[in-house]
Amino acid sequence: MQVDKALDKNILKPSFIRAARKAFAKNKAMSIGFIILFSIIIMAIIGPYLNSYTYFDTHLELKNLSPSTKFWFGTDELGRDVFTRIWHGARISLSIGIAAAIIDIIIGMIYGAIAALFGKYVDEIMMRTADIIATIPYLLAVILLTVFMSPGILTILIALTITGWINMARIVRAQILSLKKMPFIDAAKVMGASNFRIIFKHLLPNCTGSIITTMTISIPIAIFTEAFLSFLGLGIQAPISSWGVMVNDGLYAMRYYPWRLFFPAFMISLTMFAFNLLADGIRDLFDPKRFR
């Protein structure tokens, strides 16, 4: 009889994975965002190999050609194939965005969890320190970094993570401040669980929804920031291609060769749009009201 009741309970209460599949199927916006991102990632992998050109090959006799069957996105001022450079730039921009978001998540999770769990003076000191770091002007930090380090991927990653983890730390801290009052945390303490186990076994897993949603939002912000820094000449440097570098190159040719600006700008906008759609869907997916 008890087994039958348990089975009925499992039937009436679908697993989270099953509920996630249903939510994914019903949420058209999240589905569209996922399809767009999946397509961009696939093209970033195979796109540079779809023709015989590389992102750094120069052919001055082919410079500034408009889009055609031979050059699908046209060529730039050095005769380089814009299509190939777009998808090579996607590799750089996506890699930087995802890497920066992962670093922010790791630092922010640990920092916020420690501050919230220990509380009192530890929490006060740690969060006031985070507030002080957050007041550092972003561009000033980047300029100072470029003085001591040459512009490049490592410099951008450091610049993105100087203050990028603070938002995640605040979110995790707020979640854990409410979670640590729950009975299961008191039970873990009574059973002798260490602070390390309480943080990584009990507290952080219950913040998964907020963490994933914040990470999904952080990636497009990092991609846009990388493009902005490269546009200013503080990020990726030629001949390496990124969307920000291509926008910078295309800006001066916008009047006569608009495709050079249109395609990288469109890809930045499309990627941010897709990530925002996906983040909204993930936020709804982890909404506790769905499972009431």
Note the pLDDT tens digit of each residue in 224-269.
Answer: 888 888 777 777 777 778 888 888 888 888 888 888 889 999 999 9
Cβ 19 vs Cβ 253: under 8 Å: no
* Phi, psi dihedral angles at 9 (to 5 degrees): -65, -40
Q: What is the pLDDT of residue 45?
A: 92
Q: How confident is the model at residue 38 (pLDDT cuts 50, 70, 90)?
A: very high
86 found inside a domain: yes
CA atoms within 13 A on the CB side of 113: 21
Q: How confident is the model at residue 24 (pLDDT cuts 50, 70, 90)?
A: low
Q: Which residue has the higher pLDDT, 120 or 18?
A: 120
Q: Which residue has the higher pLDDT, 139 or 76?
A: 76
1 found inside a domain: no
108 found inside a domain: yes
Closest to 164 measured CA to CA, from 219, 83, 236: 219
In the predicted model, what is the mean pLDDT of residues 26-31?
79
pLDDT in tens, 96-125: 888 988 998 899 888 988 888 887 888 899
274 found inside a domain: yes
Q: What is the pLDDT of residue 15?
A: 55
Take residue 99 and report the two structure tokens written for it.
Answer: 């890497």
Whether 32 has a pLDDT exceeding 70, the answer reads yes
Which CATH number covers residue 166?
1.10.3720.10
Q: How confident is the model at residue 86 (pLDDT cuts 50, 70, 90)?
A: very high
194-203 core/surface letters (b: 16 or more CB in 10 A; e: else): eeeebbeebb
* Phi, psi dihedral angles at 29 (to 5 degrees): -65, -45
74 found inside a domain: no
Average pLDDT, the chain: 81
149 found inside a domain: yes
52 found inside a domain: no
Q: Which residue has the higher pLDDT, 28 or 72?
A: 72
Cβ 114 vs Cβ 172: under 8 Å: no
Q: What is the pLDDT of residue 266?
A: 92
CA atoms within 13 A on the CB side of 175: 24
Residue span of the structural domain in which 220 resides: 28-44+79-285
d(CA 232, CA 223): 14
Closest to 232 measured CA to CA, from 287, 165, 155, 285: 155
Q: What is the pLDDT of residue 134?
A: 85
Into how many domains does the chain fold? Answer: 1
200 found inside a domain: yes
Q: Which residue has the higher pLDDT, 287 or 49?
A: 49
The pTM for the full model equals 0.79
Looking at beta carbons, which pairs linking 58-65 to residues 24 or more positions away fall under 8 Å? 64/253, 64/256, 64/257, 64/260
